[in-house]
């Protein structure tokens, strides 16, 4: 094949490839281009990917948050920032609170209570986490959780469920993992707000 013809074929192929990339992926059902993600959606996806350095483990759970639950998540983020910790610490904290209380600041639940566990993190006064008034204060309970997390050597490099379990010592150590994606989404949405 002569050089000129080869360059023309490669040029057309390159244009086709470049054109395909510029047009975006095709929708599998009817061959039309798929809708483009907004720059905000792409940035959010990139942010949440950075917040989940080990990838999510297992099936993920998700709940719709009430205004109160969202306010509690924002309080966890604020306390994390105040403690000088990063977004990953907020993800671990929020995933833990999602598992322990669904981000509801629970008081004593009577017969349904797990011993004397209360608050967002279901911390126990009898285990030294603080008074009932303290552990039902979102800032205090988050700060107490983060203080314990800081003492876990290498927590930043651990899967979320291992870091959370090391602090919480739960009877269900693997259950924290199911909340990692929602926790990352919450942090990505509210860290800079």
Residue recorded with tokens 């259950």: 175
**CB burial of residue 67 (10 Å; 0-12, 13-18, 19+):** exposed
Which pair of tokens denotes residue 136? Answer: 């039902």
Q: Where are the domains of the chain?
A: 3-36, 42-190
Average confidence (pLDDT) over 45-57: 70
d(CA 169, CA 80): 21
Question: What pLDDT does 131 receive?
Answer: 93
pLDDT in tens, 144-183: 999 999 999 999 999 999 999 999 998 888 899 999 999 9
37 pLDDT more than 50: no
Residue percentage of the chain with pLDDT more than 90: 56
Mean pLDDT of the chain: 79
Question: What pLDDT does 57 receive?
Answer: 80
Question: What pLDDT does 126 receive?
Answer: 86
pTM: 0.72
Assigned CATH topology for domain 42-190 = Lysozyme (1.10.530)
pLDDT in tens, 64-116: 999 999 999 999 999 999 999 999 999 999 999 999 999 999 876 555 555 67
d(CA 58, CA 46): 20
Helix (H, G, I), strand (E, B) or coil at 118: strand
- How would DSSP label each residue in 144-172? HHHHHHHTSTTGGGS-HHHHHHHHH--SS
Question: What pLDDT does 51 receive?
Answer: 84
Question: What pLDDT does 29 receive?
Answer: 43
Question: What pLDDT does 17 receive?
Answer: 35
Residue percentage of the chain with pLDDT more than 70: 70
Question: What pLDDT does 65 receive?
Answer: 97
């Amino acid at each position: 094949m002569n050089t000129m013809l080869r360059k023309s074929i490669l040029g057309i192929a390159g244009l086709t490839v470049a054109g395909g990339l510029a047009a975006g992926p095709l929708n599998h059902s009817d061959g039309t281009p798929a809708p483009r993600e907004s720059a905000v959606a792409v940035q959010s996806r990139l942010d949440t990917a950075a917040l989940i350095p080990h990838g999510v483990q297992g099936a993920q759970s998700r709940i719709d948050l009430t205004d109160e639950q969202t306010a509690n998540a924002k309080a966890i983020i604020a306390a994390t920032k105040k403690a000088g910790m990063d977004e990953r610490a907020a993800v671990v904290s929020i995933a833990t609170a999602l598992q322990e209380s669904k981000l509801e600041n629970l008081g004593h639940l009577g017969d349904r209570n797990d011993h004397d566990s209360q608050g967002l993190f279901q911390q126990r006064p009898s285990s030294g986490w603080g008074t009932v008034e303290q552990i039902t204060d979102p800032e205090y309970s988050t700060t107490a959780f983060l203080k314990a997390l800081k003492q876990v050597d290498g927590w930043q490099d651990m899967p979320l469920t291992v870091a959370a379990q090391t602090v919480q010592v739960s009877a269900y150590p693997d259950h924290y993992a199911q909340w990692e994606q929602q926790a990352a989404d919450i942090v990505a949405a509210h860290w800079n707000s």
